[in-house]
Amino acid sequence: MSVLNRLQAIFNKTPDTAPPKSTGQPNIDLACAALLVEVARADFAHDPRETEATLKAIRRVLKIKETDISELLSEADAEVEEGTSVFPHTSLINEHCSREQKYDILVAMWQVAFADGNLDKYEEHLIRRVAGLIHLDHSEFIQAKIAARDGDNPDLA
């Protein structure tokens, strides 16, 4: 069963009494959240600052209801645990996101990587790979890194 089919199965299993998701694009939200979780896990160290940065990034980039964040994060954790590639996530992002949205995702990934005060080579490698897969050029990769590191974007606070 493909990752996309599993994602669709997860979202089709909601009970009839559950309110609809506020975003209208749960697969894209899950893909973005999974990429953020991937970055947090890339250095093989659990750090609460990275977890908090992941939550902050989800709030800022995805703009979903606070009550939906923990469920999304749990699903993203499970997705990362089961998955072997970021390609399904980046494919969804390419299909549904603008260049600006892709850039915002990249900045969010950098924020998570910088959160613990140590930029690990595995975190940087993952972000570089994702930037290529979502068709952002090297200058955007660098601009996103600088924006996240220096806090140049007022939306990042």
**Which residue reads 């806090």 in tokens?**
151
* CA pair distance 37, 31, nearest whole angstrom: 10
What pLDDT is recorded for position 5?
A: 55
What pLDDT is recorded for position 152?
A: 60
What pLDDT is recorded for position 102?
A: 96
pLDDT averaged per 10 residues, the chain (length 157): 53 45 63 94 88 90 87 90 88 94 96 92 96 96 94 52
What pLDDT is recorded for position 6?
A: 54
What pLDDT is recorded for position 27?
A: 86
What pLDDT is recorded for position 46?
A: 84
Domain boundaries, the chain: 25-156
What pLDDT is recorded for position 17?
A: 39
What pLDDT is recorded for position 14?
A: 46
* CA pair distance 45, 120, nearest whole angstrom: 10
* CA pair distance 90, 88, nearest whole angstrom: 6
**Which residue reads 């990429």 in tokens?**
35
Whether the CB-CB separation of 45 and 113 falls below 8 Å is answered with no
At residue 138, what is the residue type? H
User: For domain 25-156, which architecture applies?
Assistant: Orthogonal Bundle (1.10)
Helix axis angle, 3-12 relative to 87-96, nearest 10°?
70
SS3 122: helix
**Which residue reads 């072997």 in tokens?**
84
* CA pair distance 140, 137, nearest whole angstrom: 5
